[in-house]
Amino acid sequence: MSQMIRAILLDMDGVLIDSEQHWHSIEGAWLRSVIPAWNDDNQKECVGLSMAGLYEYLHLRHDLPMDFADFQLAYTDLAEAIYREKSQLMPGCEEFLEATRGSGLKLAVVSSSPKAWIQTTVDRFHIADYFSQFVSADDVGGIGKPNPAVYLHAACELSETPSECAAIEDSENGILSARRAGMKCVGFRNGLNVSQKMELAHQIIHGFSTAALHSILSSSGTAVE
């Protein structure tokens, strides 16, 4: 893609922070307690979904035996442990964010997670000042990825066209969302997501680095280790 990139939109879980590995263990144990046949392959399909989207998936595909209100309460408890205690910034994340200062780039967090979870994360790690916007599925009626709504809303909030935005995503659902929004999509290999398909990403980076930032801003779309 040759369009000049004016904004970088970062997913939260699995990109900014290493929360996906904690979701896998904590969420996985809880789901097995309520859905005995639950397995790792099922869980891979859920990465990147909003809470409402996950509930719909579990209810329709796995006969989840609870209503949405109880499900929401249970997931809020799981999230408290993950976002307030267990998760950490991805290696090189803050240096990557710092490298964008003075560049004129706009940054946004764009996540299917509830806005409260995003706020908890950016406050805990003191990174809120790097970002112009924080966009959640909450902002678009609970519609999460792979629907493009969160990314289209983020572009609107940033006053940029989607083609001027690059989205960094660690999951197949996130990549589909960004592509459907008409954005440059950067697949993010974090060492924990080898099972996620990234063929639809315009390029792939393996972690955060200054070289990765330069590659995202270039038109080459080359992979960066």
Indicate which residues carry an active-site annotation. 11, 13
What strands lie across the sheet with 184-188, from one edge to the other?
133-136, 106-111, 7-10, 165-169, 184-188, 203-205
Whole-angstrom Cα distance, residue 33 to residue 187?
32
User: Is 135 in contact with 150 (CB distance < 8 Å)?
Assistant: yes
Burial class (CB in 10 A: 0-12, 13-18, 19+), 129: exposed
Single-letter amino acid code for the residue at 17: I
Spacing of C-alpha 126 from chain mean position:
18
Whole-angstrom Cα distance, residue 135 to residue 129?
15
Residue 176 has φ and ψ, to the nearest 5°, of -60, -40
What are the residues whose beta carbons fall under 8 Å from the beta carbon of 59, sequence distance 6 or more? Answer: none
The residue among 186, 190, 223, 164 whose CA lies nearest residue 16 is 190
